[in-house]
Structure 1
C-alpha cells in the first residue's frame, strides 16, 4: 500500500495539481504570471552569474532527463550509441550540468539571503522555492556524481525509466521504484513536490517564452532633443495665434 501511495497515487496527484493549478493561475492571476525579477532592486554580479549558470544548467539537466528516462534504452543502439558512450555522457556531461545548476542556484539563494533590499521585497515563498529546487538538484547531482560514478549496479534506465513512462501512459508500475536506492527515491519525491507547488510560484514564467522576439522587427530608440521639440511647439503656438 505504501509503495502504491508513493509511486502511483502521489505522482498523479502532483501532476493533476500541476496541470489544474496552471489553468487556474492563468485565468485568475495573469498579472502575477512573471518571474518577478529583482534585477531592478539590485543588479549585481551575483545575480548575473547566478542566473546564467542556473538557467544554462537547467536546460542541459532537462534534456539529460529526457534522454535518460523518457527515451527507451533500446533506442540508443539503433543510433550507434553504446553503453560506454552513454555512461560517459551521463556521468561527465550530466554531472557538469548538475554542478553548474547547483552553483547558480547557490549564488541566487545567497544573494536573496544577504541582500537586505532583495530579502525585504521578496516573499518566503520565493525563498522556499529556491531551497526546494536546491534539494532536488543536490540530491540528483549526488546520485549522478557519487552513486553512478562509483560503479553502482543500479540502472535507472531499467527501473525508473519504464516506471516514469508507465505513469505518462497510465500504466503505473510502483514495484519498479520500490527497490531503488533511497537517493533516487528522494530525488523523485522531491521533484514531484516541486511539480505540485510549481503553479503557485514564480516558476510559471517558464511557460512564457518570448518566441515572438525571434521574428519581431528591431525597435529603434532615439534620444529626444528637448530644445528641438520646444522650438517646434513654440512655432505651432505662433501659427495658431496667426490663424486667430
Structure 2
C-alpha cells in the first residue's frame, strides 16, 4: 500500500474530523452572531419555497440512509432475517429517490443564486465555497449510486464489506486502510468529497444544521403593555389627544373641585 493511500484513508479523514470538531467548538464560542443561515428569503421566495424543502427533506433521507448503511453491520441485518437482496432494494430505491430530491433542490438553490441579482449580491465567498464542496459531495454520491447500485447489476456493490467496516474502525482509532484498496473509484471520490465537506463545514453557513429552536418551547410568554389611557403611564402630547365631548370636558374640570 502506497503512502498516498495511507494518507487518503487514514490521515486525511482524521484531519477532516479534527477540523470539523475544533471548528464547530471555536465557531460556537467566538462567532455565535454569525451562526445563522444568512437567509435571503427577503430577496426572493418563490423558488426558495420549492427548492429549500425539496433539498432539506431529501438530505434528511440521505443522512438516514448513510447511517443505516455505514453504522449497522451486515451481520445485524442478516440476524433479523433481512437478506442481502432485500436490503439492496430497500437501500437503493429510497436512496435514489432521495438523491433525485437533493439534486433538484440543490439545482434550484444554485439557479436562484445565479439568476436573481439581489440574491447573487448577497452571496458571500464562504457561500460560494460551500456550494462547490456541497455539490461535489452530492453529485459524486449520486453518480456512485446510479453507476454501481442501480445499473451495476442485481446486487450492486456491497459497500458493507469494505467502506462500512473501514469507517467504523477509523472512528475508534483502529484504521484499516487496506479495506479501501479494492473499492470502486466512484465511491472513493465520494468518500473524499464527503470528508472535505466535513472539514469546511464549520466555516460556512452549514453550521445551522446543528441549530434547533429548542428554547422556543420553554421561553416565557411575551407580556404586552396596555394601551388604555386609564392604565398607561406613557405621556401623550396634547396635540394628539382624542377629541372629547363637551360633557367629558366639564366632568374633568369639576373633578378637582369635588376632591377639594
Pairwise same-fold verdict (TM > 0.5): yes
What TM-score do the two structures reach when normalised by structure 2? 0.82
Q: Larger deviation: 178-187 or 12-21?
A: 178-187
Pairing of 1:1-244 with structure 2 (within 5 A) = 1-44=3-46, 46-152=47-153, 154-213=157-216, 215-216=217-218
Counterpart-to-counterpart distance in 2, 1:202 and 1:235: 43
Q: Larger deviation: 132-141 or 62-71?
A: 132-141
What TM-score do the two structures reach when normalised by structure 1? 0.87
What is the CA distance between 1:236 and its match in structure 2?
Answer: 7.5
How big is each residue's C-alpha offset from its partner over 1:25-82, in whole Å with a ceiling of 9 and x where there is no partner? Answer: 11110100111111122222x1011110110011000010011111111111222322
How big is each residue's C-alpha offset from its partner over 1:163-193, in whole Å with a ceiling of 9 and x where there is no partner? Answer: 0001111111111112211110000001111
Q: 1:160 to 1:28 in 2, by over 3 A?
A: same
Counterpart-to-counterpart distance in 1, 2:22 and 2:235: 58
Q: Give the total of aligned pairs.
A: 237
Indicate the RMSD between aligned Cα atoms, in angstroms: 2.8
Q: SS of the residue aligned with 2:159? A: coil
Q: Larger deviation: 2-11 or 228-237?
A: 228-237
Counterpart-to-counterpart distance in 1, 2:158 and 2:22: 33
What is the CA distance between 1:232 and its match in structure 2?
Answer: 7.2
Counterpart-to-counterpart distance in 2, 1:198 and 1:204: 7
Q: SS of the residue aligned with 1:54? A: helix
Given that 1:109 and 1:127 are in contact with CA atoms closer than 8 Å, whether structure 2 keeps it comes out as no
In structure 2, list runs of 5 or more residues that go unmatched.
Answer: 239-251
Given that 1:91 and 1:145 are in contact with CA atoms closer than 8 Å, whether structure 2 keeps it comes out as no
Counterpart-to-counterpart distance in 1, 2:22 and 2:233: 59
Q: Choose between structure 1 and 2 for higher RCO, CA contacts under 8 A separated by at least 6 residues.
A: 1
Q: 1:52 to 1:220 in 2, by over 3 A?
A: farther
Counterpart-to-counterpart distance in 2, 1:197 and 1:142: 22
Counterpart-to-counterpart distance in 2, 1:26 and 1:137: 26
Counterpart-to-counterpart distance in 2, 1:232 and 1:220: 19
In structure 1, list runs of 5 or more residues that go unmatched.
Answer: none
Q: SS of the residue aligned with 1:42? A: coil
